[in-house]
Structure 1
Amino acid sequence: MCPMPDLLLIVELGVLGLATGFLAGLLGIGGGMLLVPFMTYILGAQKVAPDLAVKMAIATSMATIVFTSISSVRAHQRRGAVRWDIARRLAPGIVAGGFLASLGVFALLKGAFLAIFFALFVGFSATQMFLDRKPAPTRQMPGNAGQLGAGGAIGFLSGLVGAGGGFVSVPFMTWCNVPMHNAVATSAALGFPIALANGLGYAISGQGVHGLPAASLGYIWLPALAVIATCSVLTAPLGAKAAHGLPVKRLKRVFASLLFTLAAYMLFKGIAAAG
């Protein structure tokens, strides 16, 4: 029988789950941007090697999004905010890109590289969002082929950094003149195929890896998954409700400020691990 984490660890994971669930509903990011840095720290405290801790944090974060996204998207759908036409066109590419990242590339890369890549890409996304650049008024979502390609890029990048794709899909959709609240809601819906495809890939590609803690399924740490998923589904609807009550510009600034902070932390961790 697999050992359960101690009480303090359960409390820490529970608080993390409550916070990430709220942010998943508020910002459509699946909570991964918050989970990966904190899970990296928690796994390090459990004596997991730094390089492996980054990989397990990414994989465990992604697995929790399977549950968070369902709760979040139900809340957004009740307000009619999800653009299902966009979600259907992006989803096939997302699944293909996710499998390519999690089954192949992820296992080959060092955790230090993944941490630095996470930081740089998220920092770039945050800058674009914070500047609040207005898209050309005539720009629209691309056609079927374009959305298939965009979905592939979103799924692949999400697989490398353990996020639900909102840090790519929300800026992409707003750049194409999809209203911010619709972009956040649609991103929440896309979190499910992203998390499912990448989670399966992490579970398979992590089989037989040396140094995994007890109760791991490939790169996914099951005790953390259970606690965080249980708590996050409670607060995701609250975040979705808050998202529809905030002005668009403030929502973008909240999103960007969060990403800047977490990008800086992961850049520090990546440089330290590489050294």
Structure 2
Amino acid sequence: MNELLILLPLLLACGAAAGILAGLLGVGGGIVIVPMLYHVYTGLGIPVDTAMPLSVGTSLSTIILTSVISARSHARRGTVDRAVVRGWALFILLGVGLGMLVANLVSGALLKTLFGGLLILVAVHMLYTARHAAPQLADRLPGRGPQALLAGVVGGFSALLGIGGGTLAVPMLNLFAFPMHRAVGTASVFGFLISVPATLGYILTGWGAAGLPPASTGFVNWLSFAALVPATMLFAPVGVRLCHRLDVRQLKRVFALFLLLVGAKMAVL
């Protein structure tokens, strides 16, 4: 407990960064929170098979409130596509359920490797879109069947890896000529749909697990939650405002290189 309290300033700074990035780049706070928490927990001597799902579950719990603040800010600006939200919601929830089943079957080490691979893919996509226009497959969304599949993929992988819906949903929507601001706003609602049931799932699957740090309920640590949430709630609207004012290409390049390094470390070591 004392070691966790000493790390409080780091947790607060990470929460601020996660909130800004959620609104600014649409990547979801989990991209920052999961690897940070993983290194904190393993540094405290918690085994990988506990540290990784604990990081994922705690990250999802923080995304609940971050996504609410971000979604409200985007809704006021009219950048949430309500028709897409209604059409994707059920299939996102079904994907979350499947993601939780997989999470209950894989080891913490494999989960860490999968997350590292995700970071590398996100970084490569960021580097590409920082220099080129986002690739497009069509000038509008496909039919209901393909959209249901896309929604299920977003829900499943987001729940499995503890990321907000924007990390996957934004580039997917961009493939079908969705404007960036509208994609980010719509994906912020997806984050809420994913994080609530997924957080409950990680609490249940981690119930009674050995080696959990103090103030944990299943695979959610409430001390980390209490440190991260105020910062993410405060800074998510800042990210939304910056999203509408800044050219974020240079920021994307720097952040992408950081993700490449972190992703390679998590995938290999």
Common fold, TM-score beyond 0.5? yes
Q: Which runs of 5+ in 1 are unaligned?
A: none
Which of 72, 75, 82 matches 1:74? Answer: 72
Residues 132-211 of structure 1: matches in 2 within 5 Å?
A: 132=129, 134-136=134-136, 138-211=138-211
Is 1:110 the equivalent of 2:107? yes
What TM-score do the two structures reach when normalised by structure 1? 0.89
1:20-60 CA-partner distances (Å, limit 9, x unpaired): 11111112233000011111111122221123212211111
Bigger shift: residues 172-181 or 157-166 = 157-166
Q: How does 1:1-275 map to 2 (within 5 A)?
A: 7-102=5-100, 104-132=101-129, 134-136=134-136, 138-247=138-247, 250-251=248-249, 254-255=251-252, 257-272=254-269
1: CA distance, partners of 2:259 / 2:127: 15
Tell me which moved more, 218-227 or 128-137: 128-137
Structure 1 residue 147: Cα displacement? 1.9
CA contact (8 A) 1:48 1:211 kept: yes
- SS across alignment from 1:108: coil
Deviation at 1:145, TM superposition (A): 2.6
**Letter of the aligned partner of 1:214 in structure 2?**
P
Deviations 1:46-81 (A, max 9, x none): 221123212211111111100000111111112111
The secondary structure found in structure 2 opposite 1:163 is coil
AA aligned to 1:113 is L
Flag structure 2 segments of 5+ consecutive residues without an equivalent.
none
Aligned length: 266
Cα shift at 1:269 = 3.1
Between 1:214-223 and 1:142-151, the stretch displaced more is 142-151
Aligned residue for 1:82, secondary structure, equals coil
In 2, the alpha carbon distance for the partners of 1:199 and 1:259 equals: 27
Question: Residue type of the partner of 1:174?
Answer: N
Verify the 8 A CA contact 1:24 1:30 in the aligned structure 2.
yes
Q: Pairwise CA RMSD of aligned residues?
A: 2.1
d(CA) in 1 for partners of 2:174 and 2:32? 22
* CA distance in structure 2 between the aligned counterparts of 1:164 and 1:256, rounded to whole angstroms: 21
Residue identity in the other structure for 1:127: V
- 1:204 CA drift (Å): 1.0
- State the alpha-carbon separation in 2 of the partners of residues 270 and 238 from structure 1: 32
TM-score by length of 2: 0.91
The separation in 2 between residues aligned to 1:137 and 1:210, in whole angstroms, is: 47
Q: Is the contact between residue 136 and residue 174 of structure 2 (CA under 8 Å) also seen in structure 1?
A: no
Q: Kindly, what percent of the aligned residue pairs are identical?
A: 33
Mark the CA change 1:259 to 1:85 in structure 2 (over 3 Å): closer, same or farther: farther
Q: 1:110 deviation in Å?
A: 1.4
